[in-house]
């Protein structure tokens, strides 16, 4: 007699058309000497070498859908990578990133030899108790890369060969596809699963939240938006029609001329600390940049002296947090709120949140999935990486409490504050960082506070910092603890870092292994840029000598 697991395995073998899978594998053959690792960013690589992986992602999405009995999403994108790259991100039922255990399945399936794929599929079904008799439904989106449409078709082939149904949304931002998945799996309680539904939900919330400020005849806000020559430009243009005329947006790098992410976009601005190519910026003009798939955003301006000022994820988190704290005080609600950062967060932002706003700050490992998970532990969890990827999460209980107060509260002042919180909830894309949603929330807060970008920037002053990279023979020699803030191995490395930090004022430094290459990333901050540079360089030397650095020894910064 077969047990439950045995019967399921036998039924799955009957359900899975191995001949059809084998036939399609010939059309999407695995290229030799290619290895893909599924991580926070999904799969990424040169578009010409990932065709086979896209087909297999389609297979995996069907299994995940059958296991969860939910709609699963797959976004074809490589985010802020160069235009020649591409990849895929799988989206779980509530619009969240793929579960860690399934990341391992994705990596194994993508790298299996063609003749081993069927065994891997069967093994996943057995380990995850996947019943192939369940229906599967996949929603698909893609960015504007030249390779995206062809790779989407490979993905669709994978979905179809296992009998999955699908809906192709075509050109959408990554956050929009996350939104669609959540809408479908919450029976549209979260929103209507169409682009129009997305635009209407966000624009209505923005209009309701800002109507008092925007009704003032002299209130006009102008913003230059660098869309990285990506999908964000198309979708922001579509959304313009839903927004009030007092929000004046000038879209640059819209893809009509330049290449995706080339000398533009949030990652370029953050790394190079200067405006993107294609944007003419005048003194004190408010500007922002998306990344290629519009899930990151950073703000910036140039002052009267020509000095560039970046308002990154840390600045965004503190602005949003101060706004939410004010509303919570007005409502009288006793809800827990915390900010989740990574070790890369500027020390000044952490001090401002804890000492001035009196909001607890927690640290998580680098990677949005780690921040998102930790932020779910509070009634209101604000998380942003310094690169500009982040959002705000409200627990179900907190949402219900806020919406109830907005409807039933007798005190006018408390009710109005609760309504503002309710509209804030509706304006935020809680599934993932969303450049469009985050931009509208920032613009709403600035309008309500009657803040210029300079006043926002003046909330606190960033400590000067420097990031460096050291090539090593094996990045796995570096092990860390305390959410990557302290090195465990090699021996003596952390002692050396601690000693170096004592030589500088307001100093902090840490090292962590790269997630993508044999390199160690070094971060340092101090009271002056000169000291931050020197500390980063000295820590890099310690890494080079203790972690078997390769190539040229780190050179001093000129």
The predicted structure's pLDDT at residue 557: 67
| pLDDT at 463 > cutoff 80 | yes
Angstrom CA distances, 227 to 113, 196, 264, stand at: 39, 20, 8
Is 103 a domain residue? Answer: yes
Determine, yes or no, domain membership for 319. yes
pLDDT at position 126: 95
Q: What is the DSSP string of 504-543?
A: STT-EEEEEE-SSSSEEEEEEE-SSHHHHHHHHHHHHHHH
Instruction: Read off the pLDDT band of 218 (50, 70, 90).
Output: low
Same domain? For 298 and 317 the reply is: no
Q: Are 407 and 537 in the same domain?
A: no
Is pLDDT at 106 greater than 50 in this prediction? yes
Is 237 part of a structural domain of the chain? yes
pLDDT on residue 8: 52
426 and 471 together in one domain: no
Distance CA 426, CA 430 (A): 9
CA pair distance 264, 280, nearest whole angstrom: 12
**Domain of residue 527, residue span:** 465-546
For the chain, how long is the longest CA-to-CA vector? 82
- What is the average pLDDT value for the chain, to the nearest integer? 94
Domain total for the chain? 4
Pick from 108, 104, 162: nearest CA to 130: 162
Indicate which residues carry an active-site annotation. Answer: 79
Q: Specify whether 210 is located in the same domain as 225.
A: yes
Find out whether 387 and 296 touch, Cβ atoms under 8 Å.
yes
Phi then psi for residue 31, to 5 deg, are: -80, 135
Domain boundary among 153, 171, 189: 171
Average pLDDT over residues 141-152: 97
Segment 477-500 mean pLDDT: 96
| pLDDT recorded at residue 216 | 59
Tell me the HSE value of 263 on the side-chain side, using a 13 A CA sphere: 6
Do residues 86 and 12 both lie within one domain? yes
Q: Does residue 20 share a domain with residue 158?
A: yes
The Cα–Cα gap between 314 and 321 comes to 11
Locate all alpha helices (DSSP H) within 116-214, ordered by sequence.
117-127, 148-161, 174-185, 195-214
On whether both 62 and 146 belong to a single domain, the answer is yes
Q: For residue 439, which of 143, 260, 232 has the smallest C-alpha distance?
A: 232
Rounded CA-CA distance 323/334 in Å is 16
Instruction: Based on the fold, state whether residues 76 and 124 are members of the same structural domain.
Output: yes
pLDDT given for residue 558 in this prediction:
52
Q: Which residues contact 353 (CB under 8 A, 6 or more apart)?
A: 317, 318, 321, 339, 359, 361
In a domain, 186, yes or no: no
| CATH number for the domain harbouring residue 86 | 3.40.120.10
Confidence of residue 2 (pLDDT cuts 50, 70, 90): very low
End-of-domain residue from the set 395, 423, 457 = 457
Average pLDDT (27-33) is 85
Check whether 502 has a pLDDT greater than 70: yes
Please name the residue ranges forming H helices in 76-116. Answer: 100-111
- Check whether residue 136 and residue 34 sit in a common domain: yes
Kindly state the average pLDDT of the residues 474-501. 95
Query: Is 254:229 a contact under the CB 8 Å cutoff?
Result: yes
Q: Is residue 150 domain-shared with residue 270, that is, in the same domain? A: no
In which residue are the tokens 């509530």 written? 94
- Residue 86 is inside which H or E element, if any? strand 85-91
d(CA 339, CA 315): 12
The residue ranges of DSSP E strands in 174-307, in sequence order, are 221-226, 247-252, 287-290, 297-302
Say if residue 299 is in the same domain as residue 238: yes
Q: Which of 8-12, 47-51, 226-230, 278-282 has the lowest mean pLDDT?
A: 8-12
Answer whether residue 50 is part of any domain. yes
Q: Report the C-alpha gap between 411 and 345 in whole angstroms.
A: 39
Together in a domain, 416 and 477: no
Chain mean position to CA 285: 26
Q: What is the CATH number of the domain that holds 480?
A: 3.30.310.50
Question: Which pLDDT does position 11 carry in this prediction?
Answer: 57
Contact (CB, 8 A) for 418 and 401: no
Q: Does a structural domain hold residue 259?
A: yes
Residue 389, pLDDT score: 97
Please tell me the distance from the alpha carbon of residue 333 to that of residue 58, in angstroms, as a whole number.
45
**SS3 assignment, position 137:** strand
Residue 443: inside a domain: no
What confidence category does residue 282 fall into, taking pLDDT thresholds of 50, 70 and 90? Answer: very high
One-character DSSP codes across 400-416? HHHHHHHHH--SHHHHH
What pLDDT sits at residue 7? 55
Quick: pLDDT tens for 31-84. Answer: 877 889 998 889 999 999 999 999 999 999 999 999 999 999 999 999 999 999
From the list 499, 501, 512, 492, the residue with the least C-alpha distance to 535 is 501
Percent of the chain scoring above 90 in pLDDT: 86
Tokens of 383: 């998380």
If one compares 184 and 516, the residue with the highest pLDDT of the two is: 184
Helix (H, G, I), strand (E, B) or coil at 435: helix
How many residues in the chain?
Answer: 558
In a domain, 556, yes or no: no
Domain limit, last residue, from 171, 205, 231: 171
When pLDDT is averaged across residues 543-554 and rounded to a whole number, the result is 86
What confidence tier does 9 reach under pLDDT thresholds 50, 70, 90? low
């Amino acid at each position: 007699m077969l047990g439950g697991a045995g019967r399921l395995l036998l039924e799955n073998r009957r359900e899975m058309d191995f001949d059809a899978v084998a036939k399609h594998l010939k059309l999407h053959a695995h290229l030799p000497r290619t290895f893909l690792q599924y991580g926070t960013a999904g799969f990424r690589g040169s578009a010409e070498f990932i065709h086979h992986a896209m087909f297999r992602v389609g297979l995996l999405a069907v299994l995940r859908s059958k296991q969860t009995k939910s709609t699963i999403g797959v976004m074809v994108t490589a985010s802020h990578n160069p235009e020649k790259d591409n990849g895929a991100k799988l989206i779980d039922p509530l619009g969240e990133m793929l579960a860690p255990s399934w990341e391992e399945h994705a990596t194994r399936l993508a790298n299996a030899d063609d003749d081993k794929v069927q065994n891997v599929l069967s093994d996943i079904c057995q380990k995850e108790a996947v019943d192939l008799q369940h229906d599967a439904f996949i929603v698909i989106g893609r960015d504007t890369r030249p390779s995206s449409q062809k790779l989407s078709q490979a993905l669709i082939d994978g979905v179809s060969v296992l009998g999955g149904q699908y809906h192709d949304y075509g050109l959408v931002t990554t956050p929009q596809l996350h939104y669609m998945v959540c809408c479908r799996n919450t029976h549209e309680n979260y929103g209507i699963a169409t682009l129009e539904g997305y635009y209407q939900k966000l624009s209505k919330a923005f209009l309701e939240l800002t109507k008092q400020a925007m009704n003032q005849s002299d209130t006009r806000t102008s913003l230059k938006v660098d869309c990285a020559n990506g999908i964000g430009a198309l979708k922001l243009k579509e959304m313009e029609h839903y927004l009030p005329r007092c929000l004046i947006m000038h879209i640059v790098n819209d893809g009509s001329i330049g290449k995706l992410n080339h000398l533009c976009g949030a990652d370029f601005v953050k790394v190079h600390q200067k405006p993107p190519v294609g944007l003419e910026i005048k003194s004190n003009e408010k500007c922002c940049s998306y990344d290629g798939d519009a899930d990151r955003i950073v703000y910036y301006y140039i002052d009267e002296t020509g000095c560039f000022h970046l308002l990154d994820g840390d600045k965004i988190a503190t602005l949003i947090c101060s706004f939410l704290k004010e509303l919570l005080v007005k409502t009288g609600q006793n809800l827990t709120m915390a900010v989740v950062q990574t070790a890369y967060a500027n020390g000044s932002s952490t001090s401002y949140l804890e000492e001035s706003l009196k909001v607890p700050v927690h640290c998580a490992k680098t990677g949005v999935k780690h921040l998102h998970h930790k932020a779910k532990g509070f009634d209101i969890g604000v998380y942003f990486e310094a690169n500009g990827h982040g959002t705000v999460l409200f627990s179900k209980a907190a949402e219900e409490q806020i919406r109830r107060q907005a409807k039933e509260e007798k005190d006018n002042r408390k009710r109005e504050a609760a309504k503002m919180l309710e509209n804030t909830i509706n304006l935020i894309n809680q599934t993932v960082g969303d450049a469009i949603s985050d931009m509208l929330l920032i613009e709403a807060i600035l309008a309500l506070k009657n803040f210029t970008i300079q006043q926002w920037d003046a909330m606190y002053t960033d400590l000067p910092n420097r990031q460096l990279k050291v090539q090593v023979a094996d990045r796995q020699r570096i092990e860390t603890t305390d959410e990557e803030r302290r090195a465990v191995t090699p021996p003596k490395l952390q002692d050396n870092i601690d000693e170096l930090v004592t030589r500088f004022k307001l100093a902090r430094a840490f090292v962590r292994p790269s997630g993508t290459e044999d390199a160690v990333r070094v971060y340092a901050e101090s009271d002056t840029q000169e000291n931050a540079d020197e500390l980063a360089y000295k820590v890099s030397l310690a890494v080079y000598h203790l972690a078997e650095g390769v190539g040229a020894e780190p050179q001093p910064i000129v």
